[in-house]
Amino acid sequence: MKCFKKVVSLAAAAAIVLSGSAFATLRADAATPTTYYIKYDEDKSEWRMQIGNWDKEYEGTQLYYLNEGNDKVKDGDVVVILENDEGVQGHGDISINAHLSNLTVSRTSAVVAATGGIDNCYVLGESTAAISGNVTNGYVYDDAKCTFNNNVTNLSLIASQENDVDLDCSVKGTVAYCSVSNPGGIVKQYYSFAANTFYYDHASGLMTDPSNYSTSGSVPAASTATQTTTQTTTTASSQQSAGNASSGAYDDVPKTGDSNLAIYLFALSAISFAGCLAFRRKAASDNN
Amino acid sequence: MNNDKNKISVRLGILSLLFLAAAIASVIFQYSIGEHSKDVLNNMQQAVAQSSEPVSVSDGAVSDGDAAEQTADATGGADAGGDADNAEDAGPEPMPQAPNPYQDSFLANADMGAWLKIDGTVIDYPVMWTPRDETYYLYRNFEGREDQNGCLLLDTDSCTNPLTTNLIIHGHNMRSGAMFGSLTKYQDASYCREHSQITLYTETCERRYEVIAVFRSQVYKKTDQVFKFYKFFQADTEEAFDDFYQNIKALSLYDTGVTASFGDHFITLSTCTYHVQNGRFVVVAKEVEGGEQYAPFR
């Protein structure tokens, strides 16, 4: 019986490996993303961090360990900057030596520098943030104040009420596409802002000179520069951008992948052979 | 009971052998077809290498029925617009015209739209252009025989005469490295620097290109409102041109140092990759001056 199980396990493993290579989609994914929570400690006058969640019983570790040691942040991780319990705004920069899949600034004041860039950056209401590092998708919500110090590919300004976009946002790099939306949907779209020209004022709306942007164009695809950094997260972000519109048929473009017919056949042969061996051994052991 | 197990075991064994035989037969079949295609290509390449030195031809514009038909196909098969600058827009002083080194190949198969060559790489192939069925040569060799390598395909919305702003060429990403199997090497900036010159030989002239952007993208859903590199063929306005240009530069894995402006022409080489579903690896090059004009041969 043991032998039978072993053979079946081996056959299953062989089948997985072979079919995996047959589909040619197996790749070395990055490890599961870790979520880092960061909160300002007023007593210590410094940022502290915890991993996985924020436990009020603990004060958290020094921010130094965000970039050093065994638990240091890696490409594809998530960082959430939380509101201080007493409502005190944070002081001091938060440097992150990685490419983040997500960064959220929640009702606090923070200066963040992500050296590898950020796939999705959320600046929630009542937050004040300065973000350094290229951002693929930036989301700034009502009542927030945000400065992006580098390029933003897709920038979404999101109002909580119709006809009242109450936020301030400036970008020192370029903005490929900007949408202004409220609960009713997208109300304005702008394209191709020149570097250091984007400024949206809560009272006056878009302050950029019309010569520095366009009102027509196409929404850029998720930046592939980030795709090369973290395969797993970019796959997700690419699919997200693809899924933005709706489901449906794909564009008609010739499929230029290599054929996997021979690999499929070899895999089926190996699986059949493994099954053959398993049954033979089972029959032999039953005889004994 | 044991008899049943033995029977199943035997049947599975036979099935395994059948699958194995089919797999081996498939490999051998593809190999033999591939070798035949290679021979055909080698012969064509040798014919080019042995072709005579360029000579000046004063006239000889022989325009037979086939040529006229092909021109009609070309104008009908692409959103080319009327402002294309093709080689036949000769000025008052005609340039000296050399014989086309790929003349025999063009004559051998009227579906051949051009010949693509990148020095220092295996990319040295005919490019097929079949407006009636874009994918006819996707799994056929130059002779029209079944071949998994297929041929390079010039997108049917692209056209060399009259020339569209962008010529998109699709090719299989073969594990063997054939066709566009080596195109992904362009993700390395140093490789790109060493192989930045791309040459396209059309019926009328030689077009030289320099790589301007290298990026990964994908085939999107029809309803997706995103930048689709494979939808850009003709820029009739500066805005349309800039939209394409800015997007490819933004997506590029690195800065090639090459820039473009409205009026320039591009060639886009595209092949499948697996970084996402329906992924594509794309190399875009801008046309530069210096290509030869060829004497008509039809």
Residue scoring higher pLDDT (A17 or A104): A104
ipTM entry? 0.73
pLDDT value at residue A20: 46
Which residue in A191, A256, A285, A287 has the most chain B C-beta atoms within 10 A of its own C-beta, making it the best mutation to test that interface?
A256
Q: Which residue of B has its CA nearest to A232?
A: B275
Q: Which residue of A has its CA nearest to B139?
A: A256
CB A167 within 8 A of CB A178: no
Each domain of chain A, given as residue ranges in start order, spans: 2-23+260-287, 35-241
Check CB contact under 8 Å for A256 and B19. Answer: no
pLDDT value at residue A10: 55
Q: Which residues pair with A122 in a beta bridge?
A: A104, A139
Instruction: Establish whether the linkage from the previous residue to A183 is cis, with ω within 30° of 0.
Output: no
Question: For residues A60 and A43, what is the distance between their CA atoms, to the nearest angstrom?
Answer: 13
B179: chain A residues, CB-CB within 8 Å: 256
End-to-end alpha carbon distance in chain A: 12
A217: chain B residues, CB-CB within 8 Å: 239, 243
Identify the three-state secondary structure at position A168.
Answer: strand
Please, how many CA atoms are within 13 Å of residue A186, restricted to the half-sphere of its CB? 10
Check CB contact under 8 Å for A262 and B30. Answer: yes
Check CB contact under 8 Å for B134 and A248. Answer: no
Give the mean pLDDT of chain B.
83
B278: chain A residues, CB-CB within 8 Å: 250
Give the mean pLDDT of chain A.
78
CA distance A226 to chain B (A): 9
pLDDT in tens, B269-292: 999 998 888 999 999 999 998 888
pLDDT in tens, A76-126: 899 999 887 776 777 788 999 888 989 999 888 899 999 889 999 999 988
The answer regarding whether domain B32-56+68-288 maps to CATH 2.40.260.10 reads yes
Q: Which residue of B has its CA nearest to A272?
A: B16
Identify the three-state secondary structure at position A38.
Answer: strand
pLDDT in tens, A160-177: 877 678 899 999 988 989
- What pTM was estimated for this model as a whole? 0.53
CA distance B57 to chain A (A): 40
Each domain of chain B, given as residue ranges in start order, spans: 32-56+68-288
CB B271 within 8 A of CB B281: yes
Q: Regarding beta strands A198-201 and A168-171, do their DSSP bridges make them parallel or antiparallel, or are they unpaired?
A: antiparallel
